[in-house]
Structures are given as C-alpha cells and as structure tokens.
Chain A
Amino acid sequence: QTVVTQEPSLTVSPGGTVTLTCASSTGAVTSGNYPNWFQQKPGQAPRALIYSTVNKHSWTPARFSGSLLGDKGALTLSGVQPEDEADYYCLLYYGGTWVFGGGTKLTVL
C-alpha cells in the first residue's frame, strides 16, 4: 500500500515563506506523479491550488507555487497571509489510482 507523507504541522509568521513537502513510499516523487495541491479550511470543501507539479489554477493566488524539491513534491507559500491558515493536502498519481498525503496543518502566527 502506497503511503504519501506530509509534515503534520508547520508554523509561519505573517509575511514569511514556508515550504510544504510531499514524499512517496515508492521512491522519488516525479513529474509522472502529477502532484496536485489542495487547501482546506474548517467546515469547507477542499480548493485546488496546483496541478501537474507547477501549474496554477486561474484562481490560485500568485504567492502559491509548486515544484519538485529533491525527491519530494513541494508547495511554497511566499508572503504568507493570515487567511492562508488551513490544512494542505498533496495528491499523487500512481498509474490509475491517486493517493492523498495525510495533510499539513499550517498555522500563521
């Protein structure tokens, strides 16, 4: 069973920069895993932020960016805003099926 691992929690100061990562139990995360990233606030449905590693949706704020960092997928928030406090999930593709990471709770403090 494939496991996707994210940091359980991170804390960042307003205006700061933070990188969230996404690791795969099968090995390095590659562009072939087509990493997607989602934001979820309490009581709300998830909202898509990034797809296919680096691509932003039309509604994604410019301060969010996706990349591969070493052997992991990564989501970087630059110039963090208080409203960015949320849970963040990565999603990886494995040849027919998808697997979510366990999520990162981002606190802006």
Chain B
Amino acid sequence: EVQLVESGGGLVQPGGSLRLSCAASGFTFSSYWMHWVRQAPGKGLVWVSRIKTDGSSTNYVDSVKGRFTISRDNTKNTLYLQLNSLNTEDTAVYYCARGASSGYVISHWGQGTLVTVSS
C-alpha cells in the first residue's frame, strides 16, 4: 500500500524558514516523480513543485521560485520542501503527492502538514 506521511509543519514568523518532509513507503520511491501541492484555508489546491526521479530536474510555481527548494533522498525514501522567506500568503496545508514513473499523472496523496505563517 502506498503511504505518504508529511511532517515538519508548524507556526513560523514572517521571514522565517521551515523544512517539510514526506516519508514514502509501499512503492519504489526512486522510480517516481514527486510533487508538493498546497491549500490555503478554505481555498483551492495550488501545485507548488515537482522533482524528477533522480533529483536532476525540478520545477516550481512562480510564486515560490527563489524561496522554496524541493529535494529528495532516495536512500531514505524521503521528499523534502525547504521553505524560506515565508510570508502570510504561504499559510496552507502542504501535501506531498506521488507523480508518474512514466506519463503524466498524480495518483497518491499524503494527509498534509499545516504551515502557519504569523507574527
């Protein structure tokens, strides 16, 4: 069974940093693209970032470019999202999601971790 478990969320002040983790199990982690998606309270889903199987390619939504960094450790079956220069608009539940080994699909989701940016 595919499992994705996010952690690392919490309360952080504007301008602060946080690192989110996503522990993956139940599949060959190194064979799949991985994504981060966020959802502000009461709002819709926003795709944030993706990373290729070996970490050699990454993409970001414009609003986080230069502030967020996606990475992965295939030896630990873990996906990361480093969040820097946080502002109140970054307050959201952050989900990790499994992408494709081939093709263009997002199939499995974690339960999310809440990041609250507030003074």
Contacts and interface: CB of A to CB of B under 8 A. Distances in A.
Interface string B90-119: 000001000000011111111110000000
Contacts of A55: 105
23 contacts: A34-B105, A38-B106, A40-B45, A45-B109, A45-B112, A46-B45, A46-B95, A46-B109, A48-B106, A48-B107, A48-B108, A48-B109, A87-B44, A91-B47, A97-B47, A97-B59, A98-B35, A98-B47, A98-B50, A98-B106, A99-B47, A100-B47, A101-B44
Contact of A52 (B35, B59, B105, B110): B105
Interface residues of B, number: 22
Contacts of B110: 45
B61 interface: yes
B6 to A, nearest CB: 10
Contacts of A38: 45, 106
Interface in A50-70: 51-52, 55, 57
Interface of A: 1, 34, 36, 38, 40, 45-48, 51-52, 55, 57, 87, 89, 91, 93, 96-103
- Nearest 5 interchain pairs by C-beta: A34-B104, A51-B105, A98-B47, A103-B44, A45-B109
